[in-house]
Structures are given as C-alpha cells and as structure tokens.
Amino acid sequence: HDPTQYMGQGNDRGSQYRSGIYYFNEDQKRLIEASKAAYEKQLGKGEIKTEIAAASDFDKYGGLWYFAEAYHQQYLSKPGSRPYCSAQPQGVSLAPFDSWCPEDLKEKYQPALPESFWKKHGPVRGCSIVRFDNEPISESSY
C-alpha cells in the first residue's frame, strides 16, 4: 500500500479503502505521529495520507467498529489473490525505533522483535506480503 495515496489502495478507490491508525492514548498518538514523520522523510514522495485519529472520535458514528466480511480477512494469504495484489509495499522499511521514537517513550515501548527479524521477514517492494509459508517463524531463524 502506498500511504501517500488518499482514499485508496492500488486501483481501489473510496473511503472504505483508506488507511487509518486509531489511537487510544497520548503515548500512542505521539508514537504514530513520530513514525509517520520519519517514514515520510524516508519515502521522499510527499505527505503520508493515512488517517490518524482518536478511536473515541468514532463515538460520533455510534462507536461502532466492523470487521470486514470473512472473504476480505487475510485476503493476500488466500490462493488466487496474488495476481490482484493491491498492497504493493514500498520496499522502504521504517528506520530503527531508536532513531525516531520520542526519548521519554523509548524504554516503555521498545519493540519486541529485533531488527534482524525485519531484515529477513519484512516486506519488500512489489506484491510481496506473503513471501513465506504459514509456518511459525522460529526465533533461531533470524
């Protein structure tokens, strides 16, 4: 998915295809905004259009959250879905956590997975969301 696209992913257009991140507290909001700023610089292709909002903002819509239909869940992992692949990862990984995280949040929110995991299993440019089988990834593999 190209986060600089507004209201769409790949060839799909409309508000139902927008990307969004919804936070529940101020720490989450700060982490989201800091990672967005860092990734925008790394991509170098304009503003990231991903919607960032408080989860509580959706109270005005009745506070309802819906899961997509079953056939949309884990779509890219299903047989036959890869030719359609609209996710299109950018092939640009977010810089290491310590380089963009606000100083006072680093200890509390240190990532559980090391950089070596992402170097091996992170997305690459193009239709590459599902590059491996569905077997669990053993810690010794990275």
Q: Given pLDDT bands bounded at 50, 70 and 90, which one contains residue 117?
A: confident
pLDDT score at 116: 85
Let me know if 71 is exposed, middle or buried by CB neighbors in 10 A (0-12, 13-18, 19+). Answer: exposed
Supply the pTM of this predicted model: 0.74
The answer on pLDDT for 128 being more than 70 is: no
* 29-72 pLDDT tens trace: 999 999 999 999 998 888 999 889 998 888 776 666 667 777 76
Kindly indicate the confidence band of residue 83, based on its pLDDT and cuts at 50, 70 and 90.
low
By CB atoms closer than 10 A (0-12, 13-18, 19+), residue 93 is middle
